[in-house]
Amino acid sequence: MNNKVLESNISSACGEYYVLSQLLRNNYVAYLSHGTTQKGWDILVFQNDKSIKIQVKTVQWKESSKTIQGNFEDKDFDILVVVILNRKSKKNKIHSFDSLIIHKDSIKAKKGNKKSLFNENGNICYKNKTISLNTLYAKSNETNFKKYKNKWKTNRRRQMPKTIKFNLILDGKPVRDIEGLQENFCIDDVLAVYENGLLERWLKVRGFDDYSKKINKIKKDDGIIKQLIKIFGIEKSEKEIMEGIYSLSFWNERKIEIEEWLKKDNAVKQIVADYHNGYKTLKQQTIEHKFDMPFLKQSTKEIYKTYFEIFKIDYKYFFYNFLNSVPLMIFAVLMNKNLRKIFLIEESIRADLSNIVDLFKIKETNLNLRNVILKNKLFITDFGVRII
């Protein structure tokens, strides 16, 4: 092909037939749309009982305007192939064709006034329904360019992203990119997909190689959750992290206990279910009677008598949950010498209790607790409770 600017209908045809020829030579079953072009796509590929719609855009590099236009998010296509004609290299050699194979999920709207072709995740960006390719061959874009450039190989599993790309489900929502992972970061879910290998696989098929490498370097015995939070730049306070880790640890321990019981017969399974449901019901009733001190004191006796073993596992979550929702229950537990011992073995609980020894040291955030203390004339001293 010579270095001549072609008419737009001819250049478009060149691009479409070039893409078709590359698909066919790589053993794909592909058909070109004839007559009126289908809305949103130009070539149809059949693979593994699925149809994949390909939209072709052709750019003549000799032209001053190196842009393509389209409704990239709403149009009915799966893969965008950009064909570049007549680009002259530094050595004045004419490259008749270059191509970019881009999955629809890798096309993102630009945020703010950024002018770069690629975003920080390597996705191709558009603005006002226009993708500008002027900086495509810039050295700064070399790494990202290679991800999409001329990927015509016979390895079907790698070259048709629709058959292998998948979403992570975090906090009940589908996640397609790093931003989505950050917005829906849930400690339980992220740890689960990390441990079963799904997170690493998702990062690889989505092209987030830098994150994948960091995931592989995680030290198994050095706080996996904290390392994941650091890798993905999640903004959480130390308190939020510790609460999440504790909650996860509690439920994991509970799961292990239940699984041990479930190895026995159906009668034992029912006993376990009844045991945990009874404990859960008692805590719910405590919330419903949060100002009834006699009821709360009776509840602590029932916890010690019937649910002491699960309380020894649940005590920390129990303390911080009821400190905010039913602060009077904390005093009821402290009045029970057997339950009080469980609270006081935990350093963080001892520290929080020491903050309310002196009523005048109670912070503004604990006004609810202060009011309860005054109302019930209770005073904590030396980690015990007595009536004023």
Averaged pLDDT for residues 136-149: 79
pLDDT at 205 over 80: yes
Architecture of domain 8-156: 3-Layer(aba) Sandwich (3.40)
pTM flag (> 0.75) = no
The domain spans of the chain are 8-156, 168-231, 246-387
Phi, psi at 183, each rounded to 5°: -70, -30
Question: What does the DSSP 8-state code read for residue 6?
Answer: P
User: What pLDDT digit, counting tens, does each position of 7-25 carry?
Assistant: 777 878 888 888 888 888 8
Distance (Å, rounded) from C-alpha 170 to C-alpha 173?
Answer: 5
- Range from 61-65, 302-306, 370-374 that averages highest in pLDDT: 302-306
User: What pLDDT digit, counting tens, does each position of 109-131 carry?
Assistant: 877 666 677 887 788 888 878 88
Averaged pLDDT for residues 154-160: 43
Nearest to 130 by CA among 110, 150, 156, 153: 110
Kindly indicate the confidence band of residue 300, based on its pLDDT and cuts at 50, 70 and 90.
very high
Axis crossing angle, helix 209-216 with helix 198-205, rounded to the nearest 10: 150
107 forms beta bridges with: 124
The percentage of residues in the chain with a pLDDT greater than 70, rounded to a whole number, is 72
User: What pLDDT digit, counting tens, does each position of 217-236 carry?
Assistant: 888 766 788 888 888 888 77
H helix intervals, the chain: 8-25, 142-148, 156-159, 178-183, 187-195, 198-205, 209-216, 224-231, 238-262, 266-288, 293-306, 308-325, 327-335, 337-344, 347-354, 367-376
3-state SS assignment for residue 274: helix
Q: Residue 101 is inside which H or E element, if any?
A: strand 94-103
User: Which pLDDT score is estimated for 162?
Assistant: 44
Distance (Å, rounded) from C-alpha 27 to C-alpha 25?
Answer: 5
Do 387 and 377 meet the contact criterion of CB atoms below 8 Å apart? yes
Kindly indicate the confidence band of residue 318, based on its pLDDT and cuts at 50, 70 and 90.
very high
